[in-house]
Each structure stands twice: as C-alpha cells, then as structure tokens.
Amino acid sequence: MSRANHDIIDQLSKLLRDEIAAVGAGRLEEVNKLFPQKSALLQKLQDASPALEKAAQESGTSAERLREKLRAVQELIRSDLAILERMTHATGEIAKELSRLRERQSLNGLYGSTGTTRQEVVAPATQVDQTI
C-alpha cells in the first residue's frame, strides 16, 4: 500500500483529534474552519478504500499496523460524531427554550402600570448559530 494512503489516515486522525479538542475547549469557530478539510480527507479516504481494504486483508506487520490505524480512525470518527450530535441536540434545545421563554415573557406586548400595552420590545430576537 502506498505511503499516501497512510498519510491520509494520519492526517484525518490528527484533524479529528484537533476537532474534538476544539469542541472540548469551546472553540467552535475552529470546528467550522476544519469542516472543509475534514470533508476532503474523508473523500480521499473513501477513494482509497479499495486499496486500503486489500492491504488490510493481507498478513504481516504492515497490514497489522494499517488495521490498527483504521480502528483508531474509526474510534475517533465515532467520538467526533457523538460529540457533534450532542452539540446539535443541545443547540436545538436551547433554540426551543429561547423561543418558549420569549413567547411566555412577551404576553404579546409589555404592559404599563395602567394595564395598557406598551410598544417597547422586551428583548430583540437573537439568531442561534445552527451551522454545526
């Protein structure tokens, strides 16, 4: 198997570790920046899949190292996916809660001491970034 295929696996592993670390540190803008690079590496890995499968089925230390790398990448992908799914779920729940609170607190307007509706807005509508 070519060194290029090993490099793809190594690059993807590093990128996934970086992405997981960025999420853990709260650097979500970094996750957004890594997405195009991650997509490109995953495409390269998919393109190299037939050669990787063939090489992984062989015997020897080289094939065993390859299988170990592939298991490690698979575990990183699972961890990354789980983290991103939890973030997506949490973002959705936060957006629902904000909408619910706005509706509850608004009473369709503010009321003054006389009970008449005032025209001021309680809080401006905020946008929730749901790109992840």
Position 129 in a domain: no
- Predicted TM-score (pTM) above 0.85: no
Task: Say how many domains are in the chain.
Answer: 1
Q: Is residue 115 part of a domain?
A: no
Task: Give yes or no for a contact between 98 and 126, defined as CB atoms under 8 angstroms apart.
Answer: yes
Identify whether 55 is part of a domain.
Answer: yes
| 124 in a structural domain | no
- Give me the pLDDT at residue 63, please: 87
Percent of the chain residues past pLDDT 90, beyond the cut: 51
Mean pLDDT of 38-50: 92
Domain that holds residue 100: 3-106
In a domain, 22, yes or no: yes
Burial of residue 36 (CB within 10 Å: 0-12, 13-18, 19+) is exposed
Q: Is residue 128 part of a domain?
A: no
pLDDT tens digit sequence for 96-106: 998 888 877 76
Residue 79 falls within a domain, yes or no?
yes
Q: What are phi and psi for residue 128, nearest 5 degrees? A: -100, 125
Q: Is residue 24 domain-resident? A: yes
Band the pLDDT of 15: cuts 50, 70, 90: very high
pLDDT tens readout for residues 20-43:
999 999 898 999 999 999 999 999
